[in-house]
Amino acid sequence: DMRHAVAPAEDVENNSFAVTSLLKICTHCERLSKKDLGVRIPRPLGNGPSRFIPEKEILQVSKVDARTQSIFEDAFAALGRLDNISLVMGFHPQYLESFLRTQHYLLQMDGPLSLHYRHYIGIMAAARHQCSYLVNQHVENFLHFGGDPKWLNGLGEAPQKLQQLGELNKILAHRPWLLTKEHIERLLKAEEHSWSLAELIHAVVLLTHYHSLASFTFGCGIMPEIHCEGGHTFRPPSLSQYCVCDIANGNGHANHHDDPFGNEMCGEVEVLMERMKQLQECRDDEEASQEEMATRFEREKTESMLVVTAEDEECVPPRDISRHFEDPSYGYKDFSRRGEHVPTFRVQDYSWEDHGFSLVNRLYPDVGQMLDEKFQMAYNLTYNTMATHKDVDTSMLRRAIWNYIHCMFGIRYDDYDYGEINQLLDRSFKIYIKTMVCSPEKTTKRMYESFWRQFQHSEKVHVNLLLMEARMQAELLYALRAITRYMT
């Protein structure tokens, strides 16, 4: 089982552990500890790191996988705690390692921006989606690194330089195709409030990182850690809660695979595998003309605009600091309803591999390399399984998911047949993807459960990694293209 090194005594107050299972407590245990200590003991509000995935499955990972265990231990040693995002990503240790390395570099290592600025930009980015989980994390770190608490009352209280980033933040989060070199110029030529190119690249990487991490956080139903706001209660537990003393009895969540409606889904995986096989045969047989390929892309792009996110229910306004950063007039849904046209961005004119990567590396050394490894890791990650089937080549499916997300952003790969997307991604999956990428704050447990019902939770987390990285790369492509146009 996981051994937790204890942080030095003086850090313990700030660094309560996040593995909520270690802090679950039944009424009997609670009485005993109260008698001993005379203290009120907080209880976690949720069962484990995710609202969607049974806690047992998440904690099992570190027990069976030595690599995950050692990554968790390193992360714990560096941060003094293990956050729930890392616990859920632990299903995919190779990816988690790359993710943590990149995030640590962006937030802690030498770079153009001061530490409190980095966390303030994290707050700005996460607040676009009212992601209180990430907002609260950054508020804590912003204050820890000497940030001025007044800035937390809203962007209007922050320095002019950060206020000017607000427009870029909004456009990148919701309509990145509207970004122009004029937006970049306004930031770089603002007299005493100007950004340098290196600072701007650092800010852009942070904004896109946290927009897409908000997608992951909502897409996997990540819960706040027990020491965070919204992560605990002092009310006595109800009978349905279970304590660390009976985890061994396997109490807790029912698995979402034991679905009463599961019968009708029977064969879902086999149908998908059969489609992949047929598409592969068609690929080998016939090649569509360039015109036909372009038409298929435009059709898929237009259709993706019409996919409705999450029953379009209105969101509850956030209680946390996000509300000070909101500009509710600017979001994804408004323009898709108005039928605003998304122009086509052709990857052969500006790609991450040939253009974006070298620009980032030049202005913020090593970061281009780290992002590239992280993109590759998410895109190429495979265990050659689909649900219970082994030795499956899933590259066609992974490519369809990645390209569908880029298609929603207007990004086109000339050599890809967009007709494959409709064969491989069904409607419930498309609704989940669209919600996750465009309005992640609306993701519900029902949506998570309604796609790929016969697949493992680890496979759904893998889908979330693909969505997160594809979204980040799409936003980055638009931002870096605008910067390149400004520079040339």
**pLDDT tens per residue across span 295-353:** 999 999 988 887 876 554 555 555 566 666 656 556 555 445 556 788 999 999 999 99
Q: Is residue 369 part of a domain?
A: yes
Q: For residue 410, is it within any domain? A: yes
Percentage of the chain lying above the pLDDT 90 cut? 60
Please count the structural domains in the chain.
1
Q: What is the pLDDT of residues 422-466, one digit of tens each?
A: 999 999 999 999 999 999 999 999 999 999 999 999 999 999 999
Cα–Cα separations (whole angstroms), residue 412 to 17, 289, 297, 305, 318? 44, 16, 7, 15, 35
For tokens 């965070």, name the residue.
228
Residue 483 lies in a domain: yes
Structure tokens at 236: 């006595």
- CB-side exposure of 352: number of CA atoms within 13 Å? 22
Q: Which structural domain range is residue 297 located in?
A: 65-223+268-487
DSSP 356: I
- pLDDT at site 409: 94
Is 102 contained in some domain? yes
**Per the domain annotation, does 480 fall within a domain?**
yes
Residue 146 lies in a domain: yes
Strand 232-233 and strand 43-44: pairing?
Answer: antiparallel
**DSSP letters along 430-442, please?**
HHHHHHHHH-GGG
Strands 232-233 and 389-390: unpaired
Q: Tens digits of per-residue pLDDT, 212-261?
A: 999 999 999 999 886 665 544 444 444 334 333 333 333 333 344 444 34
Condensed to tens digits (0 to 9), the pLDDT of residues 104-156 reads 999 999 999 999 999 999 999 999 999 999 999 999 999 999 999 999 988 98
Which one is predicted more confidently, 456 or 75?
Answer: 456
* Residue 9 is assigned to a structural domain of this protein: no
Catalytic residues: 131
Whether residue 279 is contained in a domain is answered as: yes
